[in-house]
Amino acid sequence: MFAFAEVGAFNKRAAVTCSLAASLSMALVGAFSKSDYDIMFLLLIRCLVPLAVVAIAVFCLFREEIGCSNVLSHLIRGLLFLMNQAAFFYTVKHSNVLFGTLMFNMAPLYVPILAFLFYNERTAQKILIAVVIGFFGAIIAIRPQVETLFAPATITGVSSGILLAASQLILQKNVRNEANLSCMFWFYLFSTVLALAVCAIAYFANGYNVLDVSFANSMTWLVVVGISVSSLCFQYFTGKFF
């Protein structure tokens, strides 16, 4: 998924394994999000349940030290996450899992562009060639039609990839001086707070209750557990890759 990132001294085989595991995890998130549950509900469980798991791991199991040097960037990343996940869920629900996941996983193609725009980092020529080939490959796979080129699902699909690329650029900077588990804690903490704020606004403005679902239904728990575990795997392997 992040095949064009700089792995430096990292073991390339391990990096590729983590990249593939992250991509598979995100595909599973997409599969579970295809259910009939509302996007707001999916966003909330995608943040809240993993936060509880990571908090237990940090404070009870591993006694991990929480770094505080990147708090602002974690907050920004949490905001980017909510936007890219909302776009991703919308794309999956209004097209299909394959299309939504493909558009989301185009993030590495945007990374060199964003790295140059925001960090003035220049990319090696061989990576730029790979990016161009990647874009052509994506176009062949998607086979865009004129009537669907500017469809809402296409626009949100492209947006999800760009927002993910921006989020991963921040993560790449953070994991260089902070433990992966600490990054995951801050990430889920801020994304959960932001998600709860959106849910509260929806409730007080329109009387919409995001938790108005049947928890007696086994499908609800399958979606909750499936998305939460897949989300945790995606964030863990992505951090490990960088």
164-222 residue pLDDT tens: 999 989 988 888 888 889 999 999 999 999 999 999 998 898 888 888 888 889 999 99
* Positive/negative CA dihedral, 94, 99, 101, 107: negative
Q: Residue 6 domain-assigned?
A: no
Return the minimum-mean-pLDDT range out of 8-12, 116-120, 193-197.
8-12
Q: What is the mean pLDDT of the chain?
A: 85
Determine, yes or no, domain membership for 223.
yes
Residue 6: is its pLDDT beyond 50? Answer: no
The domain of 193 spans 12-241
83 part of a folded domain? yes
The residue count for the chain: 242
Identify the three-state secondary structure at position 127.
Answer: helix
Residue 161, CA distances (Å) to 72, 98, 101, 144, 217 in order: 22, 14, 9, 17, 33
168 within some domain: yes
Q: Is residue 2 part of a domain?
A: no
**Contact present, 124 and 65 (Cβ < 8 Å):** no
Query: Which sign, positive or negative, has the C-alpha torsion 100, 101, 106, 108?
Result: positive
- Range list of H helices, the chain: 12-33, 39-56, 71-94, 97-104, 107-119, 125-142, 152-174, 180-206, 218-241
The domain total for the chain is 1
Please calculate the CA angle 18-53-222 and round it to the nearest 5 degrees: 85
Residue 119 lies in a domain: yes
Prediction pTM value: 0.81
In a domain, 76, yes or no: yes
pLDDT number for residue 197? 93
